[in-house]
Amino acid sequence: MKKDVYVSDPWWKNSVVYQVYPRSFFDFNDDGVGDLKGLWAHASRLAALGIGAVWLSPVYVSPMRDNGYDIANYDAIDPTFGSLDDLDDVIDILHSLGIRLIMDLVVNHTSSDHPWFKESCDPDSPKRDWYIWRSRRSECTPNEGAGPGEWRGDEPNQWRSAFSGPTWTWHEPSQSYYMHLFSPEQPDLNWENPELRQEIYAMMRRWLDRGVDGFRMDVINLISKPENLYEDGPGGLDRAMFGPRFHEYMQEMRREVFDAYPDRTFLTVGETPGATPDQASLTTDPTRRELDMVFQFEHMGLDSADGDKFHPKPLHLPDMKENLARWCRELEGRGWNALYLSNHDQPRPVSRFGNDREYRHQSATAWGAMLHAHKGTPFVYQGEEIGMANFPWESIDQFNDVETINYWRECVELGGQDPTQVWPGIVAMSRDNARTPVQWADLPHGGFGSSATPWLPVNPDYSQVNVSDQASDPNSTWCFYQTMIGLRDSYEILTEGSFELLQAEDEHLWWVRREWHGEILDAVANMSDEPYELALPEGEVLLANYPDAAEHRSTGVLRPWETVWIWR
């Protein structure tokens, strides 16, 4: 039913969440790095876009080897970003604008600079067991259970870390290995230890007491490791996904943290690589009291070959359509979807899946419109709303990202691979594509700061693509996003309606249908550079990315990347 203002219960069902990666958002103090005051300064711009919540990537004290996903103090703000007072100001201004704030929670691992880890390096410390230490494979006791495998290395197992190299680093003073699924500077916490878990829950409560409205939980489905780490066989993250005690930990966290605030409704979203719809529904089924939603990764792997993200291949559109539809179907009535095409770890969707040259606006909005027509809570990553594109990289020295640099080193410097073969994958897929500064205006450095050189280069296309120009142009990508987000307030069908994918096999057309109490909403897009013949259904055009869409409809042709939402 169309209501004047539709507000769902819980609030996050009909909200759009906007992700801020603070290093690259806005540099208020002009030191070349974005900061909390920068978010404070642009909060009203986010309110104008109509979003319901901000997810703030980590701002805690960190040596920044993984740009804040390596935390050295969970209770303080890194001086690069400002202070706790600045964070309080951000919470206040967002709340005054009706926007919630969810923080990033990184508790699969800490930084190796965290005092817990430093203590843990001492085998006699009470915190020894807070991390995952193991002796050499050749020295492990029979009840640790190393089988007589093929592999002859002396690490406990042969897992590889997500950022290249083994999952284990040798610690000479204590003659043992510690585990890190990411870089050696990101040692994994041992969730088996009940004291550690209570310490984390107490820290989460402190943030909720401060006024934050929930958490995005970094690689949360990796926290429960297999019982026997000496098991044989290759692997890495995949061996730690949804481990034996994961659901138990999530239920405990719900009781120990969120249940302490019966009058507040939080948002919890878990980042869960390798999630299947079954695992996602176990995790998000409200009756099981774990998380509200999870980020799945299947659709992010459809354009890579051999499971290696740096080996991109063209997307076959029906795969994407079918994947997103399957998640809607399978979570229907069982859980809730988090919908996204981009974040700080993914290249820019308009470059990856659209046409960032001739059809920048049309393809950016077609992708946005089709994603937001699915059932779930959409997430918009900073810059997506103006169609920011991948950066035109020229040399490996321009990159900052640990994953990119380590991969290059492993393939080219250590592995002797031909650099010209490795380079195209780096350019297309590096996480730094998402991390170049937000283009605010046609000013030096894209208006990201005033005079300081930003920590990553600004995309040189900022004079054509920037927030300031787009916010005053009704036909811009920014205004399209604003209209699209605003429709959620009035059209309950977007939140509650059933979901159906039409013409699933078509390689150019994307058509989804939502239905709710006799209403129908069709979201249709021509996802190609060529015109597409289609007789559109009758009804009111709610959203379109060509200004004359309503008049043009009678021609029976969708122009390149044309998208419309039709309601009846």
# chain residues binding ligand GLC, by CB under 6 A: 9
Q: Which of 408, 403, 411 is nearest to 435 (CA)?
A: 403
Token pair listed for 118: 């430093």
Give, rounded to a whole angstrom, the gap between the first and last alpha carbons of the chain. Answer: 11
Active-site residue flag, 271: yes
Order of strands across the sheet that contains 519-526? 498-502, 509-516, 519-526, 563-567, 540-544
Nearer to ligand GLC, 308 or 538 (CB): 308
Is 492 catalytic? The answer is no
Helices (H) and strands (E) in the chain, counts: 17, 20
CB of 357 to ligand GLC, least distance (A): 28
In this chain, which of 26, 74, 178, 182 binds ligand GLC, going by CB under 6 A?
A: 182
In whole angstroms, the minimum distance from the beta carbon of 169 to ligand GLC comes to: 16
Which helix (H) or strand (E) segment holds residue 378: the answer is strand 377-381
Please give the residues from 409 up to 448 whose contact with ligand GLC meets the rule CB under 6 A: none
CB 217 → ligand GLC: shortest distance, Å? 10
Q: Taking CB under 6 A as the criterion, which residues in 322-351 touch ligand GLC?
A: 344-345
- Report the residue number whose CB is nearest to ligand GLC: 69
- By C-beta, is 403 or 489 nearer to ligand GLC? 403
Q: Which is nearer to ligand GLC, 225 or 344 (CB)?
A: 344
Q: Which is nearer to ligand GLC, 16 or 237 (CB)?
A: 237
CB of 370 to ligand GLC, least distance (A): 24
CB of 211 vs ligand GLC, minimal distance in Å: 24
For residues 267 to 286, the per-residue mask of contacts with ligand GLC, x marking binding by CB under 6 A and - elsewhere, is: ----x---------------
- Of 87, 219, 257, 341, the one binding ligand GLC (CB under 6 A) is 219
Region label for 467, one of left (φ > 0), alpha (ψ between -120 and 50) or beta (otherwise):
alpha
Q: What x/- string results for residues 350 through 389 when contact with ligand GLC is judged by CB under 6 A?
A: ----------------------------------------
- Residue 14 and residue 489 in contact, taking contact as beta carbons nearer than 8 Å: yes
Nearest CB to ligand GLC, comparing residues 65 and 553? 65
Helix or strand or coil: residue 542?
strand
* Residue among 188, 213, 218, 562 flagged as catalytic: 218
Rounded to a whole number of angstroms, the minimum distance from the CB of residue 64 to ligand GLC is 12
Comparison of 187 and 449: residue with beta carbon closer to ligand GLC: 187
Of residues 49, 347, 331, the one with CA closest to residue 339: 331
Binding map of ligand GLC across residues 81-120, x = CB under 6 A, - = no contact: -------------------------x--------------
Residue 218 engages ligand GLC in binding (rule: CB under 6 A): yes
Buried b (16+ CB within 10 A) or exposed e, 78-114: bebbbeeebbebbbebbeeeebbbbbbbbbbbbbbbb
For residue 245, count CB atoms less than 10 angstroms from its CB and return exposed for 0-12, middle for 13-18, buried for 19 or more. Answer: middle
Looking up tokens 């083994």 gives 166
Q: Does 35 bind ligand GLC (CB under 6 A)?
A: no
What is the three-class DSSP state of 559? coil
As given in the structure block, the two tokens for residue 338 are 């988090």
Catalytic residue among 66, 104, 185, 271: 271
The per-residue DSSP string of 401-415 comes to: -HHHHHHHIIIIIIT
Least Å distance between CB 466 and ligand GLC? 25
Pairwise CA distance, residues 366 & 356, whole Å: 12
Q: How far is the CB of 439 from ligand GLC (least distance, A)?
A: 22
Name which of 322, 318, 327, 325 is nearest 505 in CA terms. Answer: 318
Residues carrying an active site annotation: 218, 271
Q: Which parts of this chain interact with ligand GLC (CB under 6 A)?
A: 66, 69, 106, 182, 218-219, 271, 344-345
